[in-house]
Each structure stands twice: as C-alpha cells, then as structure tokens.
C-alpha cells in the first residue's frame, strides 16, 4: 500500500515537508525540482501515515486503496518516477527562515495571483508586517480564477489556502486598482517601504504570419479568459459553427482548450464555467479539434498528468498524425507520454468528437478573405542543434479547413509604466527577484510564463528572503506613510474593493451557484455593486416616503 500523487498536483512541495520518511520527490533542493511536472511518492518508502494528505492544498494525494478509475494511471506514474533509485538524505530539507529585524514594514504587492499570495504569506510569517495586495480586477486570484480550467475543480480548491492567507492579520486588499494607471509606481513607493510586482503575463505571443489577425483567428488567452468569465473577455464571441477547430501549439493551455471544446458540455455544467460559455458550448458544432505541434511527439509541450487527464475521456476518439509512436526515447516520463498516446489511438472508435494530435507541423498562413476559412501548414523536419531539437520547415504544404483557429503559443508579460521592463524577454528584469531600489518581482513577470501554481511558491520565497534581508540591512525602513495608500487611490476617484468587498462577491457567487461551486459575475459594474457596503435603511425613511 502507498499514497499516490494525482493529476491535481501543482508542485508547491508542501507535502515534502510533511512526510516523515522523505518519500516525496523531487524536493525543492533537488536539481530536477524546477522541471518537475508534478511530485511523486516512492511506493517503496511510503509508510502510509497520511500526513501529506492534509498538507496538500489541492487534495492531490490519495491512498492507492481509494483511487478512482480516472486516477488509476497515477499509481504507475508515481512508481515509474522512482523506478531508478535516487539518493537523498532521510530527512527532507528544511527551509531556513530569515527573521525580520524589529520595526514595521509595509509592502505593496501588485497582482493577486498565486505568486502574490505566496509572497504575502511569506511576509506575514514575520511580525509587524502589513501587506496590501492590489489588482486591476475587482476579484483576486489571477489565473486561478481566470486561467485554470473550470473542470479542474481540485486545482481550483487552492482558493481555500488563499482564504487562509487573506485571513491573517496585516493582510489587506485594494482591488479594482490598475497600477500604472490609477496609481503610479512612484506613488506606491511614497506610501510603502517596498513594492513587489506579481503582474503575471496576460498578453499572448504572436506567430507573425499572414492572416493572423483575420476574424476567426483567435488566441487561447482570450478563449480561456472567455470560458472563465474574465470581465475583459466576457463579451467575446467565438465561432463554434464549424465542424473543426484548430489549435496551434501543444502546451497544457492547448490541451485545456481542446478538452473544453471536445468534452460533453454537461460535464462542465456542474463547474464554475461562465454561463455564456456553457450556453455556446452546448450549441457548438465542433466535432474535431486538431492540436498542431511544430516539433515531434517526444518534444510535445504538454505534461504527462494533463495528457492522462484528457485521454481519460473515453467518449472522445484520439488520432495521432505526423509522429512515430514506436520511437524509442530514453526519458521515462516522455516514454510514458508516448505509451499513453499509443494506447489511446488503439481504442475502438466511438464515433463521437475527436482530438487529432498533429506533430511536426507549422502554420504559415491563415487563409480567408474576410474571416478564417483555413490554415496553410507545412511539414517540419527535426534537427538537433546544441542538444536542442528544432523544427525545420520543408516545402511540403497542406491546408486544414476550419473557421476557428486558437493560437496557443505561450503568454507574454506586459510593462507597468515606471517599472523597468525587458522588451525582449517580456519580464521585469531582476536578480533573484530584486529589481531596483525597494522594488521586487515574483511569479511569471519575474521568470516568464512557465510553471504551475505551486512553482510560484519557491519563486516568491526566494524574492521575499531577499526583501527581508534588505530590510534587515536598513534599506527598507521608515519610507511608508501608513494608512494613506487607500485614501490616495480613492482620492483619484477609484472605487476600491477591499477584503470585505471581495468576500461579499465570493458569497454572492457561491450562493448563486447553488450546486455549482459558484456562478461567476462577469461584469465589472455588477461586481462593484455587490462589493459596495450595504447601508442599513435609516429610521423614519419609510415614513418620509409615505408622506
Ligand atoms: C490557461 C492557464 C491554465 C492554467 N492551469 C493551471 C493548472 O491547472 N494547474 C497549475 O498548477 N497551473 C496552471 N496554470 C499556471 C498558473 O496559473 C500560473 O503558474 C500562475 O497563475 C502564475 O501566477 P502569477 O501570480 O505570476 O500570475 P497571474 O496568476 O496571472 O496573476 C497576475 C495578476 O496580476 C494582475 N495585474 C496585472 N497587471 C496589473 C496591474 N498593472 N495592476 C494591478 N494588477 C495587475 C492580474 O489582473 C492578475 O490578477 C495555468 C496557466 C494558464 C495560462
Ligand atoms: N494543468 C496545468 O498544470 C496547466 C494548465 C495550463 C498551463 N499550465 C502551465 O502554464 C505554462 C504556460 O502554458 P502554455 O501552454 O501557454 O505554454 P507552453 O507550455 O510553453 O507551450 C507553448 C506551445 O506553443 C508552441 N509554440 C511556441 N511558439 C510557436 C511558434 N512560433 N509556432 C508554433 N508553435 C509555437 C510551443 O512549441 P515548442 O515546444 O516547439 O516551443 C509549445 O507547443 C506552462 O508551464 C504550463 O505547464 C499548466
Ligand atoms: S503517506 Fe506518509 S509516508 Fe507516505 S508519502 Fe505521505 S507523508 Fe510520506
Ligand atoms: S500540490 Fe503540493 S502538496 Fe499536493 S501533491 Fe503536489 S507538491 Fe505535494
């Protein structure tokens, strides 16, 4: 018997420190931690004490006796990772705590996604610290609310951890505040001792091919934000009237989009998917989703847990084109991915919706006069340069007919006025999170748009360790004008949503959801209305009205 880490794992390593026998790897001090798609329990070392179960914020750890049919492949996946013996000390590493010197510290964190909340949590472990988290939206939690797919309900349960962080003394929200527009970086520095940027990477990368901006050529960024009810994208309309949709790129976002387009919409009806998206998916004519990867199957960007999650939908047919599924690879996890695809394509066809993984293919032009009618693609050959496998286009072309293309080729960070920005890497330039005087960065805007929710925990820890060291060195003391940040922002006419306001929105959405986790409000004015403090009716008012 053993415990097993399953698909929901977001790699934050909380379980590592709970395990008395150091059975969960890679640990944050092991070289492969940064590359890990999830963490894995060694079935030979696990003593089934269950301590890791309570430590996991997303309920990803299950005893193998209670595993569901969908989670079954993860028994093998955990064991496979540990098939080759690893050497490690019997005790898991202990993170050294850098203590803050005496004296108050007020930090503003810009952005309220996972990186921001992990940073706030680290700061609030110290005494006499105030943290004000600002976000341009009236709702917090970044991509956990507007990126993570609605059917990843376990992953979304990380909001329980976020609630605990928010409940700590010294935590404040100033939501509905666009930093760089509603308040400047310099103004934040006037009111706080330090500012931490956690603004993520909300923009999309571009293919740079003709026709890219034709209607019908959309980005996965918009599609994901649309089905998740992001207020900026709720009004968007996606043409689901064609039989085929094409997704360019084969990372985990592409897999999310492919799954949402191909599962039975009734499976989504019990989730927090935006109402407008559920209604559109219920009438969708899409029968086939083609996921186009420029390199080979061994270089596919999707992770094994996400692939296993998609393939577990037995009412979807899977097809692989442009790849040899008998290819021999040395990496065990990659070999397992290919095996999973091999098993899926060998299943008897159901005649239902299908997902086609097309490898070794690049788009060269979006076709169509007034809107997309197809994608012109070329076949690629693979070449290895300095140990990196690259796609080299050939002149063998083909056309894939479609009315909807979703470009899912990665996200890009956006500059905040007054804050240094690397236009090439699209991040805030930093050294281990230090940006410049009293300015820091965490999460995707610090290191680029890669990694899971939990990856941001160690990323934020690194930055906050430096921030506390700078405080101890006297670099951050005595700058904050306490209590004045909110009035400075409200003085500019901005309607701020604080923690109480967010909790009112949260309550209203959960109540409206009924059996669903929540029914999202997608309109900013409506969100602000719900967040606004409700005044008790004044005595005598009724009488006044009657008169
Ligand atoms: C589509 C998608 C699905 C994903 N699904 C999963 C998953 O299932 N499991 C998993 O482990 N990981 C998943 N990830 C990865 C995970 O979401 C990221 O690792 C994580 O959200 C990055 O955290 P962040 O805090 O850096 O950025 P974000 O979560 O993007 O948060 C940034 C915040 O900053 C705010 N902001 C930006 N600019 C400003 C400004 N000027 N002023 C004020 N606020 C501002 C934004 O509104 C946003 O709330 C997914 C990623 C994507 C894109
Ligand atoms: N459930 C989850 O845990 C989950 C869900 C969603 C996202 N995430 C994480 O969020 C991060 C971002 O995910 P993502 O899918 O946006 O990015 P990603 O994993 O970097 O994938 C980007 C894809 O776009 C392709 N691409 C890039 N430029 C291209 C071009 N010019 N032409 C054709 N193809 C191109 C890449 O191909 P190459 O590989 O050839 O470069 C790759 O297939 C990842 O770390 C991901 O794991 C996690
Ligand atoms: S059940 Fe106990 S021994 Fe097994 S991995 Fe979890 S904490 Fe470690
Ligand atoms: S989410 Fe964190 S605590 Fe849960 S299994 Fe993964 S690494 Fe461990």
**Do residues 297 and 341 lie in contact, with contact meaning Cβ atoms separated by under 8 Å?**
yes
> Beta strand 217-219 with 404-407: parallel, antiparallel or unpaired?
parallel
Looking up tokens 């922002």, which residue turns up? 489
**Do residues 110 and 132 lie in contact, with contact meaning Cβ atoms separated by under 8 Å?**
no
- Burial degree of 417 (CB within 10 A; 0-12, 13-18, 19+): exposed
Euclidean distance between CA atoms 538 and 547, whole angstroms: 16
Q: Which two tokens stand for residue 213?
A: 């901006």
CA separation (Å) from 350 to 374, 405, 464, 526? Answer: 26, 25, 52, 44
**Cα 456–chain centre separation:** 10
408 close to ligand 1 (CB < 6 Angstrom): no
Pocket test residue of 2, 6, 8, 9 for ligand 4, highest count of atoms within 8 A of CB: 9
pLDDT exceeds cutoff 90 at 279: yes
Q: What pLDDT, on a 0 to 100 scale, did the predictor assign at position 204?
A: 93
Q: pTM for the complete prediction?
A: 0.95
With CA atoms as reference, report the closest residue to 419 among 427, 411, 409: 427
Q: What pLDDT, on a 0 to 100 scale, did the predictor assign at position 538?
A: 60
Q: How confident is the model at residue 86 (pLDDT cuts 50, 70, 90)?
A: confident
47 close to ligand 3 (CB < 6 Angstrom): yes
464 close to ligand 2 (CB < 6 Angstrom): no
Euclidean distance between CA atoms 443 and 425, whole angstroms: 14
Closest ligand to residue 19's CA: 3
156 close to ligand 2 (CB < 6 Angstrom): no
pLDDT digits (tens, 9 = 90+) for 414-433: 999 999 999 999 999 999 99
pLDDT digits (tens, 9 = 90+) for 473-514: 999 988 877 558 999 999 999 999 999 999 999 999 999 999
pLDDT digits (tens, 9 = 90+) for 186-203: 999 999 999 999 999 999
Give the DSSP H or E segment for 155: helix 153-156
- Burial degree of 199 (CB within 10 A; 0-12, 13-18, 19+): buried
Protein residue whose Cα sits closest to atom 2 of ligand 3: 49
CA of 144 to the centre of ligand 1 (A): 7
CA of 534 to the centre of ligand 3 (A): 48
CA of 40 to the centre of ligand 3 (A): 11
């Amino acid at each position: 018997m053993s415990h097993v880490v399953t698909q929901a794992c977001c790699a934050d390593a909380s379980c590592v420190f709970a395990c008395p026998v150091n059975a969960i790897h890679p640990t944050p001090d092991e070289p492969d931690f940064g590359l890990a798609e999830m963490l894995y329990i060694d079935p030979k070392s696990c003593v089934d004490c269950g301590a890791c179960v309570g430590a996991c914020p997303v309920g990803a750890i299950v005893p193998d006796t209670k595993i569901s049919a969908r989670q079954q492949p993860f028994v093998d996946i955990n064991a496979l990772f540990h098939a080759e013996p690893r050497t490690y000390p019997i005790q898991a590493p202990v993170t050294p705590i850098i203590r803050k010197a005496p004296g108050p510290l007020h930090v503003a964190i810009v952005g309220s996604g996972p990186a921001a909340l992990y940073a706030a949590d680290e700061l609030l472990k110290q005494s006499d610290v105030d943290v004000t988290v600002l976000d341009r939206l009236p709702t917090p939690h970044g991509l956990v609310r507007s990126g993570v797919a609605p059917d990843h309900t376990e992953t979304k349960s990380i909001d329980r951890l976020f609630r605990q962080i928010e409940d700590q003394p010294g935590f404040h929200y100033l939501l509905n505040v666009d930093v760089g527009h509603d308040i400047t970086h310099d103004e934040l520095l006037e009111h706080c001792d330090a500012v931490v940027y956690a603004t993520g990477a909300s923009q999309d990368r571009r293919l740079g091919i003709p026709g890219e901006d034709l209607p019908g050529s959309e980005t996965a960024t918009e599609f994901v934000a649309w089905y998740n009810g992001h207020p900026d994208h709720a009004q968007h309309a996606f043409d689901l009237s064609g039989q085929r949709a094409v997704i360019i790129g084969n990372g985990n976002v592409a897999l999310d989009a492919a799954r949402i387009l191909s599962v039975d919409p009734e499976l989504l009806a019990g989730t927090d998917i935006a109402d407008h998206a559920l209604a559109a998916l219920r009438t969708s004519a899409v029968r086939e989703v083609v996921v186009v990867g420029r390199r080979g199957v061994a270089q596919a960007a999707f992770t094994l847990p996400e692939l296993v999650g998609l393939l577990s939908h037995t009412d979807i047919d899977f097809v692989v084109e442009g790849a040899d599924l008998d290819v021999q690879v040395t990496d065990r996890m990659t070999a397992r991915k290919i095996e999973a695809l091999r098993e899926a394509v060998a299943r008897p066809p159901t005649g239902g919706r299908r997902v086609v993984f097309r490898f070794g293919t690049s788009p060269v032009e979006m076709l169509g006069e007034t809107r997309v009618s197809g994608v012109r693609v070329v076949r690629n050959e693979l070449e290895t340069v300095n140990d990196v496998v690259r796609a080299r286009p050939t002149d063998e072309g083909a056309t894939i007919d479609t009315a909807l293309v979703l470009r899912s080729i990665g996200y890009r960070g956006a500059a905040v006025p007054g804050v240094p920005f690397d236009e090439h890497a699209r991040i805030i330039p930093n050294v281990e999170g230090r940006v410049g005087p009293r300015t820091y960065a965490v999460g995707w805007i610090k290191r680029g748009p890669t990694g899971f929710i939990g990856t941001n925990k160690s990323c934020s820890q690194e930055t906050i360790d430096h921030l506390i060291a700078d405080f101890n060195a006297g670099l951050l003391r005595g700058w904050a004008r306490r209590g004045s940040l909110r009035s400075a922002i409200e003085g500019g006419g901005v309607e701020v949503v604080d923690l109480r306001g967010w909790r009112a929105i949260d309550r209203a959405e959960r109540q409206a959801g009924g059996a669903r986790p929540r029914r999202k409000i997608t309109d900013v004015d409506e969100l602000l209305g719900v967040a606004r403090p409700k005044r008790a009716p004044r005595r005598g008012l009724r009488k006044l009205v009657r008169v």
